[in-house]
Structure 1
Amino acid sequence: MATIVIVEDEPKLGALLGDYLKAAGYETHWVADGLEALPAIKRHAPDMVLLDLMLPGKDGLEICRELRVFSEVPVIMLTARIEEIDRLLGLELGADDYICKPFSPREVVARVKAILRRTRGAAAHAAQEATGLHIDEAGYSVSLDGHDIDVTPVEFRLLRALASSPGKIFSRDRLLDQLYDDHRVVTDRTVDSHIKNLRRKLEVWRPDQDVIRSIYGVGYRLEL
């Protein structure tokens, strides 16, 4: 499940975007003040940021400028100002897209999906090239350093989630969402059991490396 931080000072619009994005399967966090935006982004480590241009405390352009110092998270800027200079400036500062108000929430969801598909696909491909890990979505197969790894469907989904952002910590709750297609009710210890089995299989070919690292009290991250 991707996480999206919504930085929007209009409560009704923030809630509306949150409702539509949640219905589309995303986890959302809403921030109404520009001064709270960067701390919230650092705290939640989102997969995308929806960023209003006109905000109290600090405007969206300044937030985007400061965000790009430490993060390449995709940003869609939202604004009622349609002047071309604002549009160009927003994109030059590192925004990935720009939507003018008024807009349809469905359009925002469609833009979010499109950008996440593109950025996640590129990131996953780059990560696989760099780490020696190859995940074949079509064949539901996994290899590490050219060696085939025999994984179960659940282990495949867990590894795919972890590999979507190598080095990023995934909580047990987020990983639970990836386990079963029928969304059956299971405990977080189920994640621990599958991670243990998956780690053992990967470490056959990387015996001196902690391939999936446990972060005490938080979750797991892939370190390849």
Structure 2
Amino acid sequence: MTDPSCPPAHVAILDDEPEIRRMLALALEDAGFRTSSFGRATEFEAALKRTAPDVCLVDLGLPDRDGLALVHRLALESGAAIIIISGRAQVQDRVTGLELGADDYIIKPFEPAEVVARVRARLRKSRTDSDRPARTARFNGWTAHFDRYLLQSQSGEEVPVSHAEAEMLRLFLEAPKRLISRAQMQEQLGGGAGETFDRAMDVRISRLRTKLGEDPKNPRLIKTIYGAGYIFLGDVTWG
């Protein structure tokens, strides 16, 4: 049931197939969401300059733009949750989409009810994050600005992080010096399962290490505990 005190969440749909756009818009609007639909990336990007959707549903097979490149740009520049909808079912395609910043990946053909459920799940996660009072964390010479998706070094250098990378980093910073298992990551972060999820998490952690200037052979902050998960060894201050 939609809360009358809150405006309906806005879902942007980008797919070059009119039938899929209509099907998704109808299912989402019946579920209480507001939607906007686009058949080309240029139209979608122009609309983003005027409005900020809560969730973006993005097809990878676009006629005028590389879908994965668009997903990566959205992940770095927008605060929206990103769900890929694609006919590409290979594990590597799903891993690539997730590690470039997508929050979830749905394979065509799909049931509209599944998409609605995934959108609701991402919005619940986003609202949980926004309810947390602390939006900035300091650790080992770095400051993480979760409201701006930025890491800032002691020298003032700013390093952008994607929505997915920020979720991963927050998970570590909220539980420093404690083992984070794969099962906990799956529960907290979602975005697939099995081999796809494991490989996407590995790549996401690798990217975080690179952005934090870690030695990939001997990382100081994010340690791999083989067969168990990961542990963050820094001292964290929230404020």
TM-score, structure 1 as length reference:
0.55
1:87 and 1:25 map into 2 onto residues whose CA distance is: 29
Tell me the distance in 2 between the aligned counterparts of 1:37 and 1:85.
26
User: In structure 2, the residue corresponding to 1:56 is in which secondary structure?
Assistant: coil
CA distance in 1, matches of 2:106, 2:134: 34
Is the aligned partner of 1:2 residue 2:40? no
1:113 paired to 2:120: yes
Q: CA deviation at 1:90?
A: 0.4
Q: CA deviation at 1:84?
A: 1.3
Q: Counterpart of 2:84?
A: 77
Q: Distance in 2 between matches of 1:68 and 1:42?
A: 15
- CA–CA distance in 2 between the matches of 1:114 and 1:68? 18
Identify which range, 67-76 or 54-63, moves more after superposition: 67-76
3-state DSSP of counterpart to 1:55:
coil
For 1:130 and 1:98, how far apart are their aligned partners in 2?
A: 27
Write the deviation string for residues 58-97 of structure 1: whole angstroms up to 9, x where unpaired. 0321111222232131000000111111111100110000
* SS of equivalent residue, structure 1 residue 78: strand
Consecutive unaligned residues of structure 1, counting only runs of 5 or more, are 132-224
Deviations 1:14-63 (A, max 9, x none): 01100110011110000100222222223220000000010110032111
Q: Of the candidates 105, 108, 111, which is equivalent to residue 104 of structure 1?
A: 111
Q: 1:18 and 2:25 equivalent?
A: yes
Map of 1:33 onto structure 2: 40
Percent identity over paired residues: 43
5 Å matches for 1:146-185? none
Q: Letter of the aligned partner of 2:30 in structure 1?
A: A
Matched position secondary structure for 1:113: helix
CA distance in 2 between partners of 1:130 and 1:55 (Å) = 35
Letter paired with 1:29: S
- 2:165 is matched with none
Runs of 5+ consecutive residues of structure 2 not aligned to the other structure: 1-7, 137-239
Partner of 1:67: 74
Letter of the structure 2 residue corresponding to residue 26 of structure 1: F
* 107-116 or 67-76, larger mean C-alpha shift: 67-76
Query: Matched residue of 1:50: which SS?
Result: strand
Structure with more helix by fraction:
1
Question: Normalization by structure 2: what TM-score?
Answer: 0.52
1:47 partnered with 2:42: no
Instruction: Kindly indicate whether the alpha-carbon contact (under 8 Å) linking 1:77 and 1:95 is maintained by their aligned counterparts in 2.
Output: yes
Aligned residues: 129
Q: Match of 2:36, SS?
A: strand
Partner AA of 2:16 in structure 1: D
Structure 1 segments of 4+ aligned residues over 6 angstroms from their partners: none
What are the superposed Cα offsets for residues 114-156 of structure 1, whole Å, 9 maximum, x if unpaired?
A: 110011111122xx3459xxxxxxxxxxxxxxxxxxxxxxxxx
Tell me the distance in 1 between the aligned counterparts of 2:44 and 2:19: 18
- Structure number with the bigger relative contact order (C-alpha 8 A, sep ≥ 6) is 2
- Cα separation, partners in 2 of 1:42 and 1:120, compared to 1, 3 Å: farther
Kindly indicate whether the alpha-carbon contact (under 8 Å) linking 1:60 and 1:77 is maintained by their aligned counterparts in 2: no
